[in-house]
Structure 1
Amino acid sequence: MTDVTAGALRALHDALCEAIIAGDAAELASILTDEFTLTHMTGYVQSKSEWLDAIETGQMQYHRMDTVEATLSAEGTTPGLTARTLTDATIWGSRSTWRLTLRSWFEPHGDDWVIARTVASTW
C-alpha cells in the first residue's frame, strides 16, 4: 500500500467520523458504497439506507468520536483500516461512551476510495 493510498484511507476514516458526528447523511452517502453495511457490536448487520435513516431520525445520535489509534492493512487487493475509538453516542435511546474497534474495508471509486463495509466490536 502506497503512502498516498494510506493517507487517502485515513482521511476517509476521518471524514466518516466527522460526518457521523455532524449527522450529515448526505456526506455519509457520498463516501459509502451503495451496498455498504455496518455490523454493530451486537452482531446486527444494518444496511446503508437503514443506518442513514436512523441517523436522520435521531434514533442514532453520535456526539463525539475520538480515534485512539488506527492501523492500515491489506487483505489481497482490499485495503482495510482498524481504528480504536471512544464513541459517545445515543443509540436507540441509550447513551454511553463505547470503546469501539471499527474495522473498515475500502473499494476504489474513480480516483478516490469509498467505504464498502464496517464492523464494530468492543475493545
Structure 2
Amino acid sequence: MSDDSIGSLFETMCQAMVAGDIAELDSLLAEEFTLTHMTGYVQSKAEWLDAIETGEMRYHRMETAEAHSSPEGTAPGLTARTLTDATIWGSRATWRLTLRSWFEPRGEEWIVTRTVASTW
C-alpha cells in the first residue's frame, strides 16, 4: 500500500465522520475495529457507529495539519495531527488530536483496523 493510498483512505474516513455517513464508515472499518479515545476509553466499531448515528458524537469539521505513514511489521500505519471540531457526549470543542491508525488488506481493498486518539 502506498503512502498516497493510506492518506486517501484516512481522508475518506475523516470525510465520512464529518458527513455522519455510517454506511461509508462501516465499509472502511474492520469488523473488529476499535477507537481508543484520548480518555483511554476503547470503543468498538458498533458502539462508535451507533454514537455517530444517534448524535452522541458529531464531527463538525476535521482539518489534517500533518500526516505521515510508517510500516509496522506487515501492516502500514498512519499518524495524523488534526484539528477536530466535534461534539462528544454533549461537549463541543476543537480538539488538537493525534490520530494513529493501522490498516490491513481485505481482499482487493484496505481497511482501518484500529485508531488511537491522543492530544498534541
Q: TM-score, normalised by structure 2?
A: 0.98
Query: Is the 8 Å Cα contact of residues 40 and 120 (structure 1) preserved in structure 2?
Result: yes
What is the correspondence of 1:48-87 to structure 2 with a 5 Å cutoff? Answer: 48-87=45-84
What is the correspondence of 1:1-123 to structure 2 with a 5 Å cutoff? Answer: 5-123=2-120
Q: For 1:75 and 1:52, locate their aligned partners in 2 and report how far apart those are by CA, in whole Å.
A: 27
Partner AA of 2:96 in structure 1: R
Root-mean-square deviation over aligned CA pairs: 0.7
Q: For 1:6 and 1:72, locate their aligned partners in 2 and report how far apart those are by CA, in whole Å.
A: 6
**CA positional deviation for 1:71:** 0.6
Q: For 1:10 and 1:18, locate their aligned partners in 2 and report how far apart those are by CA, in whole Å.
A: 12
Partner AA of 1:38 in structure 2: L
| Equivalences, count | 120
Partner AA of 1:5 in structure 2: S
Q: For 2:99 and 2:35, locate their aligned partners in 1 and report how far apart those are by CA, in whole Å.
A: 10
Q: TM-score, normalised by structure 1?
A: 0.96
Query: Is the 8 Å Cα contact of residues 8 and 113 (structure 1) preserved in structure 2?
Result: no
Unaligned stretches of 5+ in structure 2? none
Partner AA of 1:77 in structure 2: T
Q: For 1:21 and 1:33, locate their aligned partners in 2 and report how far apart those are by CA, in whole Å.
A: 19
